[in-house]
Amino acid sequence: MIRRAVDSLSIGAWLLIIFSGVAAAVAAGMPIVTSYQEEAAVRRLATAESRRASQLVFDHLYSVMRKGWTRSEIDEIISRINRHDETMDVRVYRSAGVAEAFGAHPPSAEARENDPVVRQAFMDGAERLVESSESVRYLYPLLAEESCLSCHDTANLGDVNGIIDIQFPTEELRVPLRVTLRSAGWLYVGGAVALFLLLFIMLRRLITRPIVELSETMRHIVDRDDLGRRVAPRSIWPREVTSVADDFNTLMAELEESREELLQQSVRDGLTGCFNRRRFDSALHGEAERARRYGRPLSVILVDLDRFKPINDIHGHAAGDAVLKGVAEALADNVRSSDLVARVGGDEFAILAPETGAEQARALASKLSQAVAEKRVAFGHLSLSVGASCGASTLDPETGEGVAALMERADEAMYEIKKARHAQRA
């Protein structure tokens, strides 16, 4: 059941499923990506903020130490810094050498002894960033420089004289950052959805719609047997789809031409080009029904050739075929476009004449007999001709006469004329 449902999906449905899946994946993945970006951004901002604050604190402390401020005055400055910015906890630890030269500092001694991060920073003089779920701790070692040796005469260049320890709560950064990232994330999702929607619409217009039109055209051709129907490519269609439509139209034109040829072969006599007996019978029944329904005249003329057999016997069938073609031309040239000329036997022809009364039919029969008699057919060095006995009959709508009776009367009229001609020649 699932397989049948999948197989029955259209291209448009597949595009919609893919579009929806991508949109859902983007929406589902956004919180994960945003969370990752938030953590990375918090670390970068916290590190930058702590480094900036440490440098400011160091610059400030260095300036007051050069002025000769006492340890208690320096501690007061640090307290004021913490009170000024309650989001940060700033501490300054002295090295053992500085404490020995300028006086003991219990918090520094305790940190050197009990805090492994502080102890390691004093040992290698490297900056450290220690992250936790709620805060970022940044340790900034104060290395002895040339300008420091004038006061710290027991220190060597590059020794760690102290450490500025700053703890920065990350929640202070997370709140505005989270709002910014989420807004940007949803903006990204909205942009992605809009982009995929635009892509979906373009694919429907450029690919799905042309295929649907091709399918609808094929269905119309099958349902209505209309081989003349064509697909009209649009200017916005891709070149490949337009090529498919052009090839389809070419195929349909060839198919229509082949069908027309087959149709003509099925209703035409192969030798003379006249309609055959099958087409004559079909047209006769149709015209008879119309004549009876609307009370209109309808006539039939049967033509039987005279002196045709001797031509076949003496000059051969090729000569007989040439004569039959000539007779067909003479008949077609002397009837109306609404009349139908058919070859219904070896040397027998029939003319179906709608809207033709009895007098008109007899006059037409006489005209056709004369036209055939006057027709000269060139065959090699010969000029061949035949005669024609033409019998006419007219349908009487009021009597309810059928086509069989109509044809029988025309046949009788034709043989009456043929008998009279034989008697006349005798």
The residues annotated with a catalytic role in the active site are 347
Longest CA pairwise span in the chain (Å): 166
CA dist., res. 322 & res. 330, Å (int) = 13
Query: Which amino acid, one-letter code, is at 387?
Result: G
Residues 6+ apart with CB under 8 A from 166: 50, 53, 54, 57, 88, 89, 90, 91, 137, 138, 139, 140
CA dist., res. 423 & res. 402, Å (int) = 32
End-to-end CA distance of the chain: 88
Four-CA torsion 253, 254, 255, 256, nearest 10 degrees: 50
Residue with token string 């008109």: 360
Residue 103 φ then ψ, to 5°: 115, 145
What is the SS3 assignment for 136?
strand
Nearest to 414 by CA among 354, 355, 356, 345: 345
Length of the chain: 426
Residue 275 is classified by DSSP as: B
Burial of 187 (0-12, 13-18, 19+ CB in 10 A): exposed
Residue 379 φ then ψ, to 5°: -140, 100
CA dist., res. 330 & res. 327, Å (int) = 5
Question: DSSP for 284-305?
Answer: HHHHHHHHHHHT--EEEEEEEE
Is residue 384 within 8 A of residue 376, CB to CB? The reply is: yes
Nearest to 301 by CA among 249, 238, 349, 236: 349
